Chain A
Amino acid sequence: MDDKNLLEKLEKAKLAGFKLDANKEALKVSVLNTVAAEKTVKKQWLNFRFVPVMTALAAVVAIAVYTVDNFDDGDRFNRNGGVWSTYSDSVAGGDSVIWPAIPEEDPGGFTMSSPGYGGKGYAVRVTGGAGIKIGLNYNYAGVVARFSPESSCPQCQGADIKKYTGIKFKVKGSIASGRVYFVLPYEDTLCEPERMTCGSLTDYADYEADITKFLGDEWTTVMLDFKNDLKQPDWTPDRSRVKIDNVLETVHLFKWQFKYCSGPFELWIDDIELY
């Protein structure tokens, strides 16, 4: 088939004469009513929270705990089915290395380590070395837990965790230099098909907390209040500044990232809960 034939074929393949008025009207009414109802439910919930007599009930809600992963099963999925994986600047020309290997090098190769906290079960353990080939301020490596299978491409569906005050987890480990951050990324609900990633809505200037001080030979509990302990970096451009509430409404993943590092690092993580 040559160009002329192809164009003729495509011309004849065009679909015309769609009449969809009844379907359009039916869907329009349903979608608009549904989203309006969702907004009403949210408003009622906010009003409800400010009624003093309900304070005790609100407190009960606030102390609810959700286990993201306790690693007892030793598989590479958290409680929601979201997958654990590592990442590093090697995909961007850097020379950082991390174990377990990044998916580009070993798809499905993430393995848990043992023993976890208390000498039992499993935990996440990542180890490796931060290279400085692409610069100390630009190199990176880390580990990520997708919140659920739907939070990845192609669905890129976020989860609303606004009812929780914060996140807590146990850590131990060491780094030769640099910092370790917990990061709460804000991702798009659209998949970028070419890269098969849910795009960053903050240009990667995500809410984060420096947890370096908690690293050591013994397990230590880290408790991070989403609203008080997480901040966007100082270098965040105005266009990327977002309210933490918006991020908490659409959570796709949690990250633990080594930054400004050179040399070896090791990080263990166990018993992750939203509180």
Chain B
Amino acid sequence: MDLEREKEVIEASRTDPKAFGEIFEAYYPKLFRYVAYRTGNADAAKDITAEAFYKSLNKLHTFKWAGVPFYAWLVRIASNEVNYYYRKKKYEPLLFEDALNATGTAGPAVSPDTLMEIAAVQENMDNNDDFKDVLAALKKLPAVYREVIILKFLEEYKITEICAILGKKEGTVKSLLSRGTEMLKGAFNSR
């Protein structure tokens, strides 16, 4: 989706939430994978992604269009939720669940397909020893370094795109990357 189209979709979604479906189509798998990289837990990734999508649509009136992909805002929301997940050592999509209860709306349908997809993601992560090694090393770093390393080296974003996602200047992102990779090497070497 190009930026112009995305802006139209966001504007339409402010009054008609159904229009937000296009955002799901464009960003759901990407956001899920980003959260999976951050947590290494497919169930948590599913719940955090759900909360991030709900929160972004529910709080759309606070979103200001700044000419950068909406995905940047989704990552920021998800990132906050990931930090919460690490602080609490567990995760529940509280806002989304409250909204489901308040409106009497059905939660995401559970089917053999949905369960198998999540199990397959977890298996994918569990079978990748390099991923497990990297995640274990990343967990020794402060969250801000973890985030920038995942975006750059695992998600393969350009520096300018990371700047937009994190709302930081180029110099800051480069500096975080430089220090982060040194810290990551240190984390591996200390094992």
Q: Hey, which bits of chain A sit against chain B, CB under 8 A?
A: 1-3, 6-7, 9-15, 17-24, 26-39, 41, 153-157, 188-191, 193-194, 201, 239, 246, 249-250
CB distance from B173 to the nearest CB of A (A): 12
Contacts of A29 in B (CB 8 A): 108-109
Q: Residue B12 at the A interface, CB < 8 A?
A: no
Chain B residue at smallest Cβ distance from A1: B188
| A-B CB pair tally, cutoff 8 Å | 165
Asked if A34 contacts B80 (CB within 8 A), the reply is: no
Offer 23 A-B interface pairs, CB within 8 angstroms, sorted by A.
A1-B188, A2-B185, A10-B153, A11-B153, A15-B37, A15-B131, A19-B117, A20-B28, A22-B111, A23-B46, A23-B117, A26-B108, A26-B109, A26-B114, A27-B24, A28-B25, A30-B105, A30-B108, A32-B21, A153-B80, A189-B59, A190-B77, A250-B59
Q: Which of B57, B62, B109, B189 contacts A35 (CB 8 A)?
A: B57
**Closest CB pairs A-B (n = 7):** A22-B113, A37-B103, A12-B130, A26-B108, A13-B134, A35-B17, A28-B24
Assess the A23–B62 pair: CB atoms within 8 A.
Answer: no
Q: How far is the CB of B162 from chain A (nearest CB, A)?
A: 14
Instruction: Return the chain A residue nearest B76 by Cβ.
Output: A190
Query: 18 extra interchain contacts, Cβ-Cβ under 8 A, other than A3-B181, A10-B154?
Result: A3-B185, A6-B181, A6-B185, A10-B134, A15-B124, A19-B117, A23-B117, A24-B24, A26-B111, A28-B24, A30-B105, A31-B54, A33-B105, A39-B17, A41-B102, A154-B80, A188-B62, A189-B77
Instruction: Report chain B residues within 8 Å CB of A28.
Output: 21, 24-25, 28
Give, as a whole number of angstroms, the nearest-CB distance from A182 to chain B.
23
| B175 at interface, CB cutoff 8 A | no
A15 close to B46 (CB less than 8 A) = no
Q: Across the two chains, which residue of chain A brings its CB closest to B152?
A: A10
Residues of chain A lying within 8 A (CB to CB) of residue B33: 15, 18
Contacts A6-B185, A157-B95 hold; do A18 and B24 have CB atoms under 8 A apart? no
Kindly provide the distance from the CB of B144 to the nearest chain A CB, expressed in whole angstroms: 6
Residues of A within 8 A of B120 (CB): 19
| Distance of B78 from chain A, by nearest CB (Å) | 10
Those of B92-118 within 8 Å (CB) of chain A = 95-96, 99-100, 102-111, 113-114, 117-118
Q: Is B139 an interface residue (CB 8 A)?
A: no
| B interface residues, Cβ below 8 angstroms from A | 17-18, 20-21, 24-25, 28-29, 32-33, 36-37, 46, 49-50, 53-55, 57-59, 61-62, 64, 73, 76-77, 79-81, 83-84, 87, 95-96, 99-100, 102-111, 113-114, 117-118, 120-121, 124-125, 128, 130-131, 133-135, 143-144, 149, 153-154, 181, 184-185, 188-189
Are A20 and B111 closer than 8 Å at their CB atoms?
no
CB proximity of B145 to chain A, nearest CB, Å: 11
Residues of chain B lying within 8 A (CB to CB) of residue A10:
134, 149, 153-154
Residues in B with CB closer than 8 Å to A30 are 100, 105-109
A193 CA to B29 CA, complexed, in Å? 24
Measured between beta carbons, the chain B residues less than 8 angstroms from A38 are 58, 99, 102-103
Partner of B36, one of A15, A189, A249: A15
| Cβ A23 vs Cβ B118 within 8 A | yes
Q: Nearest CB to that of B17 among chain A residues? A: A35
Contact B143 A193 (CB under 8 A): yes
Interface pair B28/A24, CB less than 8 Å apart? yes
Name the one of B121, B131, B134 contacting A18, with C-beta atoms under 8 angstroms. B121
Q: Contacts A15-B125, A24-B28 known; A36 to B185 CB distance under 8 Å?
A: no
How far is the CB of A253 from the nearest CB of chain B, in Å?
16
Q: When chains A and B are docked, how far (Å) is the Cα of A31 from the Cα of B158?
A: 31
Partner of A20, one of B32, B135, B149: B32
A178 to B114, CA, bound (A): 62
B20 touches A32 (CB 8 A): yes
| A13 CA / B149 CA spacing, docked (Å) | 12
**Which chain B residue shows the least CB distance to A150?**
B94
B189 A34 Cβ-Cβ under 8 A: no
- Residues on B with beta carbons closer than 8 Å to the beta carbon of A6: 181, 184-185, 188
With A7-B153, A32-B18, A34-B96 known to touch, is A154 a contact of B84 (CB < 8 Å)?
A: yes
